[in-house]
Structure formats: structure tokens, C-alpha cells
Amino acid sequence: MGVESPAVSIKNVVKIFGKQRAVDDVSFDIPRGSVFGLLGPNGAGKTTLFSIMANFLRPSSGRIEVLGVDVERIGELRGKLTILPQDALYQANVPVREQLEFFALLNGMTKAQASEETTRVLTMVGLLEAQKKNARALSHGMTKRLGIAQAFMGNPEVIVLDEPTAGLDPVNAAAVRRLINDIKVKAKATLIVSSHNLAEIQELCAAVAILHNGKLVEHKSVAELTEHKGNVRMTFGRKLTEEEVGKIRAQPGVGGVNVDTQNEYTLELVLAQGQTTEQLIGVLVSELARGGLIPRSVKEGASLEEKFLEATASTNQAS
């Protein structure tokens, strides 16, 4: 029996727009059944790579295989590969239900199946009540949920979500994340997600690739990428004052403090001889608690954001 092909295999893909190399010789595999994150700053080439994956764009060279099939033969992936494209507009004057039924029919379903499946996905994203509305009447958040509904129609094996929470308010973004988490548990599909929200990617994904200026600068599991024996990441219920940060910095065993986000801080640990990380963290937490600073969570390792900034900064310097 042959080895099962990866969900997605990207082989030396190059995409050139005019004089700009939007994707520059990128190669990596995404294993089946995983939740994979694609990261990169604006213009890094994430959407371009996704677009080549879904056959929207033709690569200048190289190729992408999805489930062992070259995406040039996209017809063979019908119903197996779906995507939530970024910024794509629906037909403005066609009711939501009719658009989804049309997609389901193209996926190969019968009329009855298409109708049933449309009801299922609309219920899943909470849009059943809006089914008769024209797409133009939907809010931004509803449109995003409609996009997720169409991406989860049928039983796709590979689902690509290009910035599923971009432009959403925190409530809607959290709802979309919950949806993805639910599906992650229920479906056996491979999910590929791109997002600017690194905490979101860290929460959802098992592995990530980081693109910068069209080049692949990192491709590792999230655990591997954020593993750093000498660091500990603490989240507090609020932003700390300069004075409080100073207190942490002054603790024995703390070499430095980096502010990740408003509430997140990465502490560089300096272990004494014979001391383990766990011991030092224990001492630190109890010392901080004594001073009234009780962290909500303590995680060993660096944040994905820190690693992301590190990876993209080093390529900036190199270029």
C-alpha cells in the first residue's frame, strides 16, 4: 500500500505580478487532518498562495497538489476542497439560500440534498432567518458567516479559510472562532487558516508556516516554534504599570521582561545552578502573588507573536 499523500503539497511555487515576486519559491507540505496556520504580514503572499491553491491564480512556476491532485485539474477536487476567499462578493441581488443551493448543486448534490444541506449550514452559522434576504442586505459579519457556511457545505476534506475573522467585531470574531473550533472537533477535514490575529492562530492551529516578502521563513509545529526553555509567558487581567513591570524585572531569576500584548508578558528566565524551570516559575508566581500580582495564566515558552516578529524581522535584516 502506498503512502497517503499530504493534504496539500506546495512545490517550488513562484508567482510574479509584473516585477514583483508575490510568492518566491515556496515549498512545504500540510499533513492530512491537521489545523494549519499560514502567517505573514500584509503583502507577504498568503492570499496569493491560497488563490493558487484554489486555482484562482495560475502560478508562474511550480505547482500545488491537493490530496495528491494537481490543482490544474480542479474538477477532480470538486466537493473535496473548499475555500473562504477573502474579499469575494456574492451576487448582490440573489437570495442567500438560492446562492448556497446553487453551490451545492455544483458540488454534485441533488436538489433535495442541496436544500437540506443549505438548511444545515445556514443553521450552523446562525443565518437561517436571513435565508430569503439578498446578499446585499447582509452586514459584514453576516457575509463572513455566509462565507463560512459555503466553505463547510458537504464533506470537504480540505478547507481553506483566508482571514476568517478579518474586519469582524470581537463578538463576531469570537463566534467565528467557536465555529471553527466546533468543526475542528467534529470534522476530520484539514483546516488551513490565515489570520493576522496570532493568538487566534496559536489557539486554533497545530502547525504554522510564516511567509514574509513572498518567501517561506518558518514552517514548524506551534509547540516547536514557541518552545523556549528559558522563557515563560504570563497573562494578567489588565495592563501592568511601568512600576509593576519593574517589580517583575527585579525578581531573582528574571533576566528581562517583554511586553507581547496589553496583558501578556514574556519573562526571560535565568536559572540558578541545579534549578529547573518549573521550580523557578513556582517561586516567581508566589513572589508576584505576595505583591498582589496574580497572573491569570502562565505558559512556558515564547508567544507565537514573538516568534512571528522574530522571524519576519530577521528576513527584513537579511534583505
Partner 1 sequence: MLRKAHLNLIARHSLKHGIRGGAGLVSIALTLLIGLFLAQCAIGPLERVEKSVDFAADRTPGIDNDQRNFAKQKANDQIVKIAVKGMEMAMDPSTDQLDYLTEEKPAMVSVMLVLLFLATPLFACLGGFNQTAGDIGSKGLRFLLFRTERANIFWGRFFGTLGFTALVNLLLFGILTIYMVAKLNVHPKDDMAMWMLQGYLRMMVFTLPYLALCAWISSAMESAFGSLAISLLVAFFLPLFLGIAGSFEDVVKYAQYATPWGWKYWLLEPLGPKFLGGLAAMFGFSALFLWLGHRNFNRRDL
Which range touches partner 1 (CB under 8 A), out of 91-99, 117-125, 192-200, 254-262?
91-99
- Kindly state whether residue 214 participates in binding partner 1, applying the rule CB under 8 A: no
Nearest distance, CB of residue 93 and partner 1, angstroms: 7
Among candidates 26, 75, 27, 34, which has minimal Cα distance to 159?
34
- Kindly state whether residue 190 participates in binding partner 1, applying the rule CB under 8 A: no
- Kindly state whether residue 14 participates in binding partner 1, applying the rule CB under 8 A: no
Nearest distance, CB of residue 265 and partner 1, angstroms: 41
- CA dist., res. 294 & res. 14, Å (int): 49
Please, which of residues 108-167 interact with partner 1 by CB under 8 A?
150
**∠ at Cα 166 (304, 40), nearest 5°?**
40
State the DSSP H helix or E strand holding residue 230, giving kind and residue range, or none if neither. none
Nearest distance, CB of residue 180 and partner 1, angstroms: 19
- Kindly state whether residue 294 participates in binding partner 1, applying the rule CB under 8 A: no
Contacts of 205 (CB under 8 A, 6+ apart): 35, 36, 37, 193, 222
Exposure b/e, 275-294, CB count within 10 A at least 16 = b: eebeebbeebbebbeeeebe
- Cell 476568517 appears where? 164
Exposure b/e, 63-94, CB count within 10 A at least 16 = b: ebbbbebebeeeeebeebbbbbbbeeebeeee
CB-based contact 209:219 (threshold 8 Å): yes
Nearest distance, CB of residue 132 and partner 1, angstroms: 16
Which range touches partner 1 (CB under 8 A), out of 77-85, 204-212, 261-269, 288-296?
77-85
- Kindly state whether residue 69 participates in binding partner 1, applying the rule CB under 8 A: no
Nearer to partner 1 by Cβ, of 34 and 150: the residue is 150
- Kindly state whether residue 103 participates in binding partner 1, applying the rule CB under 8 A: yes
Nearest distance, CB of residue 87 and partner 1, angstroms: 6
- CA dist., res. 25 & res. 22, Å (int): 10
DSSP β-ladder status, 297-300 and 264-269: unpaired
Nearest distance, CB of residue 50 and partner 1, angstroms: 10
Which range touches partner 1 (CB under 8 A), out of 83-91, 217-225, 259-267, 273-281?
83-91
Name the site residues for partner 1 (rule: CB under 8 A): 51, 54-58, 74-75, 77-79, 81-83, 85, 87-94, 99, 102-103, 105-107, 150
